Amino acid sequence: MHATSASLAAAQPVLETISDAEILAGYCRELTIERDLPATLNIALEGMVKNLQAEIAEIYLWRGSPSGFAFSTSRGRSITRRTNAQCDDPMLVRCLEQRTIVCGQADATAIPAICAPILPLGQPYAAARLTRRAGAAGFDGRDRALLLAMANAAALAITNAQLKEAVDDQKDTARDLEFAAEIQRHLLPNVTPGEYPIFGFNRPIRQVSGDFFDFFTLPDQRIAFALGDVSGKGMNAALLMAKAASLYRCLGKTIFCPAEILRRLNREIQETASHGMFVTMIAGIYNPSTGSLEFANAGHEPPLLRSQDHGYESFPADAPPLGILPELIMTARKVEMGGGEFFIFSDGLTEFRYGQGEQLGADGLIQMMESFSSLPMAERIEALLSELNQEGWSLRDDLTVLAIDDAWVKTHD
């Protein structure tokens, strides 16, 4: 992973002797060894001190106007510890502005000095300044030519080090995302289709998800359930998802009123959520022994109740999403399932498109589900999702489904 040396060859002045060419060849070989950026800068300076008989070699990073230069690192036989962060040495400024070697005296003294611009990919990045002992001979034409060649070689090495850092950062980010995704997967219930009256499914559009679902059995054998959708995508949404999911599981085991659970979740999210983020969510409790179901909806997609005769009823939200208002005013709804099925889903499902056509929507979702009506509920959902996974369909958002099958209980008594 090294930048091309074509630009170096074009920028190099003709060197006077073969020994200078050998010096430069050894210098370039040393810089081609893969290192991080600080080590690359130090190796570049050590070669300049050694081959140009400098007392001190320093690199100043260009911070742009009006900040100017900031001291980075130095090498040599008598290094003075730098405490100032900024530098406005006119030699440094001139060499970077004119993109050329500048010779003179350091700090208005008799100390010979020379500055060279370092331009990775042709962009202002830094300037190298070399000084000799007071009274020593100044830098001549041969020194100028060799230093310019070294500065160009250093620019290539810096580009390579920056590329390596970028690749390493991407690898670290990928590892972090995979770890976050694994944590999220462990927050979701492990569901085997057909082995429980509830079936859930989550498919992130990215590596991490802003959706979640959960369910668990209460001490009286009723089943608490929830599905939430965090606004936005990426890591911010994933972090808020993890928080909402964890709070729900904690509250849901001690509070048996879905509306009260959402009210308490709302207070916590409203106090701590940032950048206008919010959560749409449905929470409820299902009683398998009676077929009754109680739920509350905070700004989420209307759930669907499918009766045994394949009729559908939807239930629009009666409160805004969590995290918008300090307090929520809402009540729970109660329905009798009567052997029917209850479907909750995130808008990632209804926003599916085929080609450039319209969104699937609730009506399209019902039609697709009914095309698999001969299958048991969990298998029907899997068939639906498999169909939407075919070429031509495009997923625009995280997709999550949670379904309850009241008929399952009667067939597994």
- pLDDT tens string, the chain, 413 residues long: the values are 455 444 444 445 554 445 788 888 888 888 888 888 888 899 999 999 989 989 999 999 988 877 788 888 888 876 555 544 457 778 888 998 899 999 887 665 678 999 999 999 888 999 999 998 887 888 999 999 999 999 999 998 888 888 888 877 777 766 766 666 666 666 677 777 777 899 998 887 666 677 889 999 999 999 999 999 988 777 777 788 888 888 999 999 999 999 999 999 999 998 877 777 899 999 999 999 999 999 999 999 999 999 999 999 999 998 999 999 999 999 999 999 999 999 999 888 888 888 777 888 889 899 999 999 899 888 898 898 888 888 878 777 788 899 999 998 777 76
Check if 6-164 and 188-411 are the same fold.
no
Please check whether residue 399 is in contact with residue 382, taking contact to mean a CB–CB distance below 8 angstroms: no
Phi, psi of 409 (to 5 degrees): -60, -45
Displacement of CA 391 from its chain's centroid (Å): 27
Architecture in CATH for domain 188-411: 4-Layer Sandwich (3.60)
Q: Which residues contact 242 (CB under 8 A, 6 or more apart)?
A: 183, 184, 187
Cβ-based neighbours of 381, under 8 Å, separated by 6 or more: 199, 201, 369, 401, 403
User: Is the distance from CB of 115 to CB of 91 less than 8 angstroms?
Assistant: yes
Cis before 66? omega within 30: yes
Show me where the domains of the chain are located: 6-164, 188-411
CA geometry: angle 118, 123, 127, nearest 5 deg: 25
DSSP 320-356: PPBTSSSS-----EEEE-TT-EEEEE-HHHHT-EETT
Whole-angstrom distance, CA of residue 329 vs CA of residue 298: 10
Sequence-separated contacts (24+) of 381-388 with Cβ below 8 Å: 381/199, 381/201, 382/193, 382/201, 385/201, 385/203, 388/352, 388/360
Would you state the structure tokens that stand for residue 268, as one six-digit string?
């916590």
End-to-end CA distance of the chain: 64
Options 3.40.50.300, 3.30.450.40, 3.40.50.2300, 3.40.1670.10; CATH of 6-164: 3.30.450.40
User: What are 69's strand-pairing partners?
Assistant: 62, 87
251 C-beta neighbours (distance < 10 Å), count: 18
Taking CA atoms, 356 is separated from 38, 326, 366, in Å, by 50, 40, 21
Name residue, tokens 């996974």. Answer: 389
| pTM of the predicted protein model | 0.63
